Amino acid sequence: MGTAAPTASNGPKNTKNAGDTGNAEATVPVFSVEGLWKVFGPKADRIPGDPELTALGQAELRARTGCTAAVRDVSFDVRKGEVFVVMGLSGSGKSTLVRCLTRLIEPTAGTIAIDGEDVRAMDRGRLRELRRHRAAMVFQHFGLLPHRTVLDNVAYGLEIQGVGRTERRARAAEVVAKVGLEGMEQRRPAQLSGGQRQRVGLARALAVDPEVLLFDEPFSALDPLIRRDMQEEVVRLHREEGRTMVFITHDLQEALKLGDRIALMRDGRVVQLGTPEEIVASPADDYVREFVRDVPREQVITARRAMRPADSAEEAGNGPAVRPDATVAEAIEAVARAGGPARVMDQGRCLGVVDAPALLAVVAGKAAAPAAVAADDASAGSGAASEEPV
Ligand SMILES: Nc1ncnc2c1ncn2[C@@H]1O[C@H](COP(=O)(O)OP(=O)(O)OP(=O)(O)O)[C@@H](O)[C@H]1O
């Protein structure tokens, strides 16, 4: 195994660190969810439409009605090519929400569309096709067939689809190699480590070439080193293939590492939806603030957010250059080395300047300078198209 070496991004899209300049395709939603509710319990249907009941907290609702509102009025889009992370503590509703996407759990109210098609209107045949071809799920308990070899486990999804033996084994062999299990094709699951089994689960989902992969806490049972290995595997696969992924985790570090965007859940609601940087730099409420309190801010927040406008053409034209999506930690290094402010450069234009006070303010958790200086405002005198930012 151990194929998780960093790989140059030569795939269709490298969404991580892609800044705000994503292509137009990135705005087409794969999943579109609007006003989604899942209520467990007697006469669950009456809850979403009743303002008096929806105003109740979980405990009161349970006491009054015997019902649990696992998902409460949730709306979001999953964009093509992104890793969309659903994060929250145990019981916050993550699994229920993601299972509703393919109706493994029937929603109580709301709408779900995949590529514009109404999932709630699908008949059984169409649903089967959705789960088999379009949105494959990778579970924590991989559900491997113990008497089958690795190769046949991976080929299983294709077998169900009716793909012929030669073709499915060829395709399975390809995917087995892709997840770093080459040479283990003939082993049985019992002869693999936990991490290797999870790779088989991942390969099985990938073999059917789904439009979107849904991961339900796939790595939470793995030990920390293997877990990191698998996270890197997901990042690598995502970079190389640009596949859309929805990833459930209760682990903040995992969410920050993998997510292009994170939906943070609490008691069935999405309390904040944003990039890792948005969530760490601008928590929506005290709950989120507490959640992200120990995150090393300088490793998540970028120079773009920490910068201020250049004071003068002189300042905009001199000093070391950093990329807008460089982390504050990287910018600190540049500023420390130069002994003065660094310019935030994008394609030869100076967007602004980061200096020691602004960078320290980020580390200290103080509000950074109102970033997002319009590129046009601060480009005076840069003229430095040939300079390579760090
Ligand atoms: N079949 C069910 N019947 C009744 N209540 C349920 C059912 N499934 C889940 N719940 C409740 O819904 C809420 C959300 O559960 P869910 O499993 O979605 O949370 P989660 O965030 O995925 O938790 P975990 O991280 O522990 O898996 C919990 O209060 C749970 O007890």
What confidence tens digit (pLDDT) does each residue in 299-348 have?
999 999 999 999 888 888 888 999 999 999 999 999 999 999 999 999 98
Beta strand residue intervals within 133-285, DSSP E: 135-138, 212-216, 244-249, 261-266, 269-274
Whose CA is closest to atom 10 on ligand 1?
A: 70
Q: Report whether 269 contacts 288 (CB < 8 A).
A: no
Indicate the pLDDT class of residue 217, thresholds 50, 70 and 90: confident
Per the prediction, the chain carries an average pLDDT of 85
CA of 124 to the centre of ligand 1 (A): 25
DSSP output for 17-29: T-TT---GGGGSE
This complex has an ipTM of 0.98
Of 14, 8, 7, nearest to 81 (Cα)?
14
Report pLDDT digits (tens) over 131-187.
Answer: 988 998 887 766 789 999 999 999 998 888 888 999 999 999 999 988 888 999 999
Report the C-alpha gap between 203 and 180 in whole angstroms. Answer: 10
* Most distant CA atoms of the chain, gap in Å: 71
Please tell me what DSSP assigns to residue 26: G
Distance between CA atoms of residues 341 and 303, nearest Å: 12
Percentage of the chain exceeding pLDDT 70: 86
Tokens of 252: 């903040």
Per-residue CA distances from 262 to 76, 88, 258 (Å): 11, 10, 9
C-alpha R_g of the chain: 23
Phi and psi based region of residue 49 (left: phi greater than 0; alpha: psi -120 to 50; beta: remaining): alpha
Residue 314: is it exposed, middle or buried by C-beta count within 10 angstroms (0-12/13-18/19+)? exposed
Read off the amino acid at residue 309: P
Distance CA 54, CA 234 (A): 38
Question: For 58-108, where are the E strands, in sequence order?
Answer: 68-79, 83-88
Predicted local distance difference test score (pLDDT) of residue 389: 55
Alpha-carbon torsion, ordered 187, 191, 196, 202, to 10 deg: 60
Q: Give the β-pairing of 109-114 and 29-40.
A: antiparallel
Query: Ligand 1 centre from 141 Cα, in Å?
Result: 17
Pocket of ligand 1 contains residue 40 by CB under 6 Å: yes
| Tokens (6 digits) for 95 | 């699994």
Closest residue by Cα to atom 3, ligand 1, is: 40
Q: Whose CA is nearest to atom 13 of ligand 1?
A: 70
Band of the pLDDT at 27, cuts 50, 70, 90?
low
Bridge-based pairing of strands 244-249 and 83-88 is parallel
Mean pLDDT, residues 30-34 taken together: 97
Q: Determine the distance separating the centroid of ligand 1 and the alpha carbon of 69, expressed in angstroms.
A: 9
Ligand 1: distance of its center to the CA of 28 in Å?
Answer: 30
Closest to 248 in 3D by CA, of 279, 280, 215, 278: 215
Angle at 23 between CA 22 and CA 25, to 5 degrees: 120
Question: How far, in Å, is the centroid of ligand 1 from the Cα of 173?
Answer: 37
Q: What are phi and psi of 56, to 5 degrees?
A: -80, 150
Compute the distance between CA of residue 47 and CA of residue 61 in angstroms, rounded to an integer. Answer: 9
Q: What percent of the chain has pLDDT over 90?
A: 64
Is ligand 1 within 6 A of the CB of residue 389? no
- For 169, residues 6+ apart whose C-beta sits below 8 A from its C-beta are 151, 155
For ligand 1, the distance from its centroid to the CA atom of residue 285, given in whole angstroms, is: 24
Find, among 347, 357, 345, 346, the residue nearest to 315 by Cα: 345
Q: Is 68 in the pocket of ligand 1 (CB under 6 A)?
A: yes
Q: Return d(Cα 304, Cα 369) in angstroms, integer.
A: 10
Contact 355, 341 (CB under 8 A): yes
CB-ligand 1 contact for 70 (6 Å cutoff): yes
Answer yes or no: is pLDDT of 51 > 90.
Answer: yes
Ligand 1 atom nearest to 268, measured from its CA: 14
pLDDT for 195 = 84
Q: How many CB atoms lie within 10 A of CB 123?
A: 7
- For ligand 1, atom 29, the nearest C-alpha belongs to 91
CB 3 within 8 A of CB 182: no
Q: What is the pLDDT of residues 71-105, one digit of tens each?
A: 999 999 999 999 999 999 999 999 999 999 999 99
358 within 8 A of 306, measured Cβ to Cβ: yes
